[in-house]
Structure 1
Amino acid sequence: MAIDFPGLSSVQTAGNRGKVTEQAADKAPRTDTPAAQNTQPAQSDTVRISDAAQALQRSSSSQGNAEVDSDRVAQIKAAIDNGSYKIDNERIAERMLDFEKLLG
Protein backbone atom coordinates (compact mmCIF):
# COMPACT_ATOMS: atom_id res chain seq x y z
CA MET A 1 0.00 0.00 0.00
CA ALA A 2 1.45 3.38 -0.97
CA ILE A 3 0.52 6.53 0.91
CA ASP A 4 1.18 9.84 -0.81
CA PHE A 5 1.53 12.91 1.43
CA PRO A 6 1.95 15.91 -0.89
CA GLY A 7 3.96 18.68 0.69
CA LEU A 8 5.67 16.46 3.27
CA SER A 9 9.33 15.61 3.05
CA SER A 10 10.48 12.02 3.23
CA VAL A 11 11.92 12.77 6.68
CA GLN A 12 8.48 13.72 8.02
CA THR A 13 6.87 10.51 6.78
CA ALA A 14 9.79 8.15 7.47
CA GLY A 15 8.69 7.45 11.05
CA ASN A 16 5.59 5.57 9.91
CA ARG A 17 7.03 3.65 6.98
CA GLY A 18 8.15 0.59 8.91
CA LYS A 19 4.81 0.25 10.65
CA VAL A 20 2.87 0.25 7.39
CA THR A 21 5.29 -2.26 5.84
CA GLU A 22 5.09 -4.54 8.86
CA GLN A 23 1.29 -4.41 8.89
CA ALA A 24 1.13 -5.14 5.18
CA ALA A 25 3.49 -8.09 5.58
CA ASP A 26 1.37 -9.53 8.39
CA LYS A 27 -1.78 -9.32 6.26
CA ALA A 28 -0.21 -10.38 2.96
CA PRO A 29 -1.94 -13.34 1.32
CA ARG A 30 -0.03 -16.57 1.10
CA THR A 31 1.46 -17.16 -2.34
CA ASP A 32 2.32 -20.81 -1.93
CA THR A 33 -1.25 -21.99 -2.63
CA PRO A 34 -2.49 -22.62 -6.19
CA ALA A 35 -5.38 -20.15 -5.79
CA ALA A 36 -3.02 -17.38 -4.71
CA GLN A 37 -0.77 -17.90 -7.73
CA ASN A 38 -3.64 -17.23 -10.18
CA THR A 39 -4.84 -13.97 -8.62
CA GLN A 40 -3.87 -10.56 -9.91
CA PRO A 41 -2.05 -8.15 -7.60
CA ALA A 42 -4.34 -5.76 -5.73
CA GLN A 43 -4.37 -2.12 -6.72
CA SER A 44 -2.36 0.10 -4.45
CA ASP A 45 -4.22 2.49 -2.18
CA THR A 46 -3.39 6.18 -2.04
CA VAL A 47 -4.20 8.91 0.42
CA ARG A 48 -4.45 12.57 -0.54
CA ILE A 49 -4.47 15.35 2.03
CA SER A 50 -6.94 18.12 1.19
CA ASP A 51 -5.76 21.59 0.28
CA ALA A 52 -7.28 22.95 3.51
CA ALA A 53 -5.32 20.43 5.61
CA GLN A 54 -2.13 21.31 3.76
CA ALA A 55 -2.74 25.03 4.41
CA LEU A 56 -3.27 24.34 8.11
CA GLN A 57 -0.09 22.30 8.25
CA ARG A 58 1.93 25.06 6.57
CA SER A 59 0.54 27.70 8.92
CA SER A 60 1.19 25.60 12.03
CA SER A 61 4.76 24.79 10.98
CA SER A 62 5.50 28.46 10.25
CA GLN A 63 4.12 29.42 13.68
CA GLY A 64 6.21 26.72 15.33
CA ASN A 65 9.32 28.73 14.55
CA ALA A 66 7.99 31.87 16.26
CA GLU A 67 9.77 33.00 19.39
CA VAL A 68 7.90 33.07 22.70
CA ASP A 69 7.71 36.46 24.38
CA SER A 70 8.46 35.42 27.97
CA ASP A 71 7.62 38.86 29.35
CA ARG A 72 4.19 38.83 27.69
CA VAL A 73 3.51 35.32 29.00
CA ALA A 74 4.45 36.44 32.52
CA GLN A 75 2.12 39.48 32.24
CA ILE A 76 -0.80 37.30 31.14
CA LYS A 77 -0.17 34.77 33.92
CA ALA A 78 -0.07 37.57 36.50
CA ALA A 79 -3.31 39.07 35.14
CA ILE A 80 -5.04 35.68 35.32
CA ASP A 81 -3.76 35.10 38.87
CA ASN A 82 -4.98 38.48 40.15
CA GLY A 83 -8.30 38.34 38.24
CA SER A 84 -7.70 41.34 35.98
CA TYR A 85 -7.39 39.38 32.72
CA LYS A 86 -10.34 40.18 30.46
CA ILE A 87 -11.52 37.84 27.73
CA ASP A 88 -12.55 39.49 24.47
CA ASN A 89 -15.50 37.33 23.37
CA GLU A 90 -15.90 39.20 20.08
CA ARG A 91 -12.29 38.58 19.10
CA ILE A 92 -12.55 34.89 20.01
CA ALA A 93 -15.73 34.54 17.92
CA GLU A 94 -14.08 36.29 14.95
CA ARG A 95 -11.03 34.03 15.15
CA MET A 96 -13.24 30.93 15.35
CA LEU A 97 -15.11 32.03 12.23
CA ASP A 98 -11.83 32.73 10.42
CA PHE A 99 -10.63 29.24 11.34
CA GLU A 100 -13.90 27.74 10.09
CA LYS A 101 -13.44 29.53 6.76
CA LEU A 102 -10.02 27.91 6.40
CA LEU A 103 -11.57 24.47 6.79
CA GLY A 104 -14.00 24.84 4.14
Structure 2
Amino acid sequence: MAIDFPGLSPASSAGNRGKVSDQQSSTPSGAAGQPATTPERGERADTVRISDTAQALQRSSVDSSDNGGVDSDRVARIRAAIEDGSYQINNERIADSMLELDSLLGE
Protein backbone atom coordinates (compact mmCIF):
# COMPACT_ATOMS: atom_id res chain seq x y z
CA MET A 1 0.00 0.00 0.00
CA ALA A 2 1.43 3.36 -0.99
CA ILE A 3 1.00 6.47 1.10
CA ASP A 4 1.29 9.87 -0.50
CA PHE A 5 3.01 12.57 1.52
CA PRO A 6 2.07 16.11 0.41
CA GLY A 7 5.12 18.22 -0.32
CA LEU A 8 7.46 15.27 -0.89
CA SER A 9 8.46 13.91 -4.25
CA PRO A 10 7.70 10.22 -4.85
CA ALA A 11 11.41 9.40 -4.81
CA SER A 12 12.06 10.99 -1.42
CA SER A 13 8.94 9.50 0.18
CA ALA A 14 9.82 6.03 -1.16
CA GLY A 15 13.14 6.18 0.67
CA ASN A 16 11.36 6.91 3.94
CA ARG A 17 9.18 3.81 3.83
CA GLY A 18 10.04 1.01 6.18
CA LYS A 19 8.65 -1.35 8.73
CA VAL A 20 6.74 0.23 11.57
CA SER A 21 9.01 -1.55 14.04
CA ASP A 22 12.08 0.00 12.34
CA GLN A 23 10.53 3.45 12.48
CA GLN A 24 9.54 3.10 16.12
CA SER A 25 12.92 1.78 17.23
CA SER A 26 14.73 4.72 15.64
CA THR A 27 12.54 7.30 17.38
CA PRO A 28 13.16 7.91 21.10
CA SER A 29 9.93 7.70 23.02
CA GLY A 30 8.72 8.30 26.53
CA ALA A 31 5.76 6.84 28.35
CA ALA A 32 2.82 5.58 26.28
CA GLY A 33 4.65 6.06 22.97
CA GLN A 34 4.82 9.85 23.30
CA PRO A 35 7.99 11.63 22.20
CA ALA A 36 10.44 11.96 25.06
CA THR A 37 11.34 15.55 24.17
CA THR A 38 9.96 18.36 22.07
CA PRO A 39 11.43 18.76 18.60
CA GLU A 40 14.81 20.44 18.40
CA ARG A 41 15.21 23.79 16.79
CA GLY A 42 14.75 23.52 13.04
CA GLU A 43 12.79 20.24 13.28
CA ARG A 44 9.08 20.15 12.72
CA ALA A 45 6.66 18.23 14.91
CA ASP A 46 4.52 15.61 13.18
CA THR A 47 0.95 16.69 12.70
CA VAL A 48 -2.18 14.96 11.48
CA ARG A 49 -5.20 16.67 9.99
CA ILE A 50 -8.40 14.72 9.62
CA SER A 51 -10.58 15.86 6.74
CA ASP A 52 -14.01 17.31 7.35
CA THR A 53 -15.54 14.28 5.64
CA ALA A 54 -13.72 11.88 7.95
CA GLN A 55 -14.80 13.92 10.97
CA ALA A 56 -18.43 13.79 9.81
CA LEU A 57 -18.17 10.02 9.34
CA GLN A 58 -16.71 9.68 12.83
CA ARG A 59 -19.53 11.76 14.34
CA SER A 60 -22.20 9.74 12.52
CA SER A 61 -20.55 6.51 13.67
CA VAL A 62 -20.59 7.67 17.28
CA ASP A 63 -24.19 8.89 16.99
CA SER A 64 -25.40 5.63 15.46
CA SER A 65 -23.54 3.47 17.96
CA ASP A 66 -25.64 4.88 20.82
CA ASN A 67 -28.72 2.88 19.86
CA GLY A 68 -28.62 2.71 16.08
CA GLY A 69 -32.35 3.41 15.87
CA VAL A 70 -33.11 -0.01 17.39
CA ASP A 71 -36.22 -0.40 19.53
CA SER A 72 -34.69 -2.55 22.26
CA ASP A 73 -38.10 -3.23 23.85
CA ARG A 74 -39.40 -4.66 20.57
CA VAL A 75 -36.25 -6.74 20.13
CA ALA A 76 -36.69 -8.12 23.66
CA ARG A 77 -40.36 -9.01 22.95
CA ILE A 78 -39.48 -10.76 19.68
CA ARG A 79 -36.58 -12.62 21.29
CA ALA A 80 -38.86 -13.82 24.11
CA ALA A 81 -41.53 -14.92 21.57
CA ILE A 82 -38.94 -16.89 19.59
CA GLU A 83 -37.62 -18.56 22.73
CA ASP A 84 -41.07 -19.60 23.97
CA GLY A 85 -42.20 -20.70 20.49
CA SER A 86 -45.03 -18.18 20.10
CA TYR A 87 -43.42 -16.08 17.35
CA GLN A 88 -45.53 -16.26 14.19
CA ILE A 89 -43.97 -15.77 10.76
CA ASN A 90 -46.18 -14.11 8.15
CA ASN A 91 -45.03 -15.77 4.92
CA GLU A 92 -47.26 -13.66 2.68
CA ARG A 93 -45.93 -10.40 4.12
CA ILE A 94 -42.34 -11.57 3.62
CA ALA A 95 -43.08 -12.63 0.03
CA ASP A 96 -44.80 -9.32 -0.74
CA SER A 97 -41.85 -7.38 0.66
CA MET A 98 -39.41 -9.45 -1.39
CA LEU A 99 -41.43 -8.86 -4.58
CA GLU A 100 -41.61 -5.14 -3.85
CA LEU A 101 -37.84 -4.97 -3.34
CA ASP A 102 -37.28 -6.96 -6.54
CA SER A 103 -39.46 -4.55 -8.52
CA LEU A 104 -37.54 -1.57 -7.11
CA LEU A 105 -34.18 -3.10 -7.98
CA GLY A 106 -35.30 -4.40 -11.38
CA GLU A 107 -36.12 -0.99 -12.85
TM over 0.5, shorter chain: no
Instruction: State the TM bucket, normalised to the shorter chain.
Output: 0.3 to 0.5
Superposition TM-score, scaled by structure 1 size? 0.37
Greater RCO, 1 or 2 (C-alpha within 8 Å, sep 6+): 1
The structure that is helix-richer by fraction is 1
Largest Rg, 1 or 2:
2
TM-score by length of 2: 0.36
